[in-house]
Amino acid sequence: MNRNAKIKACAAAMGLVLVAGCSGGGDDAESAGAGARVPLPATGAAAQLEQQYEQVVDAVLPSVVKIETGKGEGSGVVFDDQGHVVTNAHVVAGARQIRVTASSGGSPHEANLVGAFPPDDLAVVKVDGVSLKPAAWGDSSKAEVGQIVMAMGNPLGLAGSVTSGIVSALHRTVSTQGEGDFPGSTIAEAIQTSAPINPGNSGGALVTLSGKVIGVPTAAASDPSIGGAAAGIGFATPSNTVKRIVPQLIRTGEVSDSGRAALGVVVRTLVDPESGRRSAVAVVEVVENSGAAKAGIEAGDLILSVNGTATPTQTALSSVLANMKPGDVVTVEIQKQDGSKKQVKVTLGELPGNA
């Protein structure tokens, strides 16, 4: 969700709205008029909740940074005390220059890409010569629907912004579109949240009231009827995925243990030239000695379904596989080049780290 010209225009418009919303002239009492009621401070449970919000922001926001590339802006979360910062792969995809700025402001610092794993939309950059505070990473498997959370990042370039909401749903499978140098991703076990996620929030922190980061905001749902983001429906890559993938990127710059299932094929989506509809997934290449190869799947075959779930597009196929594990045995329905259909059993392999 990098910022583009349109988003920059939105940010500028937001600035105008903010200025226009300010009252002019006079002190508060005079502006309010005689007899106006003075707001009362929060008490009891409300005061405790307000204080908790403030404490979490004070504790976590210093671990959230702004990331700028020549193509746009995003957010990042400090992973350790060695200067490693977690962000989304789509934030830094194809970037020739990466700059990191602390949420408190100050001068930006040059950063280098350590490694990226697009299937989970995760990347690590490293900043040298500056002290950054690591975030406390929580256990996303313990997240509960209804749990209060905050999203921290840099929406529309507004550094150090905080929004709040709840965990709306768990165990979502979310696919994002490829764009430019980013091939797209399919995230399993994504956390759905009502905390507003806007362009620039990508790569930031989804935080509980205990101050633990349980997710990395990655995408917001779009509403075709309005041609934009759907309010209150955002998704975050779970922290347990981050804790599995990021240490591998830090060690070698690659992922050797993705934990994700793969058929062992390279595919493309077929599009009907007359209707423009995406109609099927065609096998372009079969990986040698893969589960698909051993099951007799060949280049030119069409993959129609996996375990009874239709797979008319690459995204649909990726979504099905995202919820499976290496070693699982699945039933794949294929259509051969002569038009005949058959079902084959495939033992799933593991998605390679350079996928």
165 alpha carbon, distance to own chain's centre:
17
Q: Rounded CA gap, 258 and 352, in Å?
A: 7
Catalytic pick among 75, 140, 175, 202: 202
Q: Rounded CA gap, 90 and 67, in Å?
A: 12
Catalytic pick among 121, 164, 194, 318: 121
Closest CA to 194 of 220, 225, 228: 220
Any catalytic annotation for residue 84?
no
Residue 141 three-state SS: helix
8 Å CB contact between 69 and 75: no
Any catalytic annotation for residue 90?
yes
Catalytic pick among 90, 168, 239, 305: 90
Q: Phi and psi of 211, rounded to 5°?
A: 85, 15
Amino acid letter at 232? G
Closest CA to 191 of 230, 157, 156, 141: 141
8 Å CB contact between 321 and 346: no
Give, in degrees to the nearest 5, the angle at Cα 245 between 321 and 89.
85
What are the catalytic residues?
90, 121, 202
